[in-house]
Amino acid sequence: MKVNIYYGGRGLLDDPTLYVINKMEQVLSELQVEVHTYNIYEQKNAISMLPQTLKDADGIILATTVEWLGIGGYMNQFLDACWLYADKTAIASTYMQPVVMSTTYGEREAMVTLENAWEILGGLPCPGFCGYVEDVGEFRSNSEYARIIEKKVESLYRTISQKTKGLPTSNQAVKRSILRTSQLELSPQESEQLSKFVSDEEYVQTQKTDIADLTSMFRDMMGQKKEDSSNEYINDFKNNFKGINEFSASYLFMIEGKDKPLYLGVNGDQIDCHYGKEEGIDVYMKMAANIMDNIVAGRETFQRAFSVGDMTAKGNFRTLRALDEIFSFQ
Q: What pLDDT, on the 0 to 100 scale, is given for residue 308? A: 87
Q: What pLDDT, on the 0 to 100 scale, is given for residue 309? A: 87
Q: Is the pLDDT of residue 68 over 60?
A: yes
Q: pTM value?
A: 0.59
- Averaged pLDDT for residues 56-85: 94
Asked if residue 278 lies in contact with residue 252, where contact means CB atoms within 8 angstroms, the answer is yes
Domains within the chain, CATH numbers bracketed: 2-199 (3.40.50.360), 229-326 (3.30.1050.10)
Local confidence band at 227 (pLDDT 50, 70, 90 cut-offs): very low
Q: How much of the chain, in percent, has pLDDT values that exceed 70?
A: 83
Q: Is the pLDDT of residue 238 over 60?
A: yes
Q: What pLDDT, on the 0 to 100 scale, is given for residue 329? A: 86
Q: Is the pLDDT of residue 189 over 80?
A: no
pLDDT, tens only, 263-306: 999 999 899 999 988 888 999 999 999 999 999 999 999 988 99
Local confidence band at 152 (pLDDT 50, 70, 90 cut-offs): very high
User: Mean pLDDT highest for which of 176-180, 186-190, 261-265?
Assistant: 261-265
Q: State the Cα–Cα distance between residues 325 and 216, nearest whole angstrom.
A: 43
Residues 6+ apart with CB under 8 A from 265: 249, 250, 251, 271, 272, 273, 278
Local confidence band at 231 (pLDDT 50, 70, 90 cut-offs): confident
Local confidence band at 172 (pLDDT 50, 70, 90 cut-offs): low
Local confidence band at 233 (pLDDT 50, 70, 90 cut-offs): confident
Q: How much of the chain, in percent, has pLDDT values that exceed 90?
A: 57
Q: What pLDDT, on the 0 to 100 scale, is given for residue 245? A: 85
Residues 6+ apart with CB under 8 A from 144: none
Asked if residue 325 lies in contact with residue 303, where contact means CB atoms within 8 angstroms, the answer is no
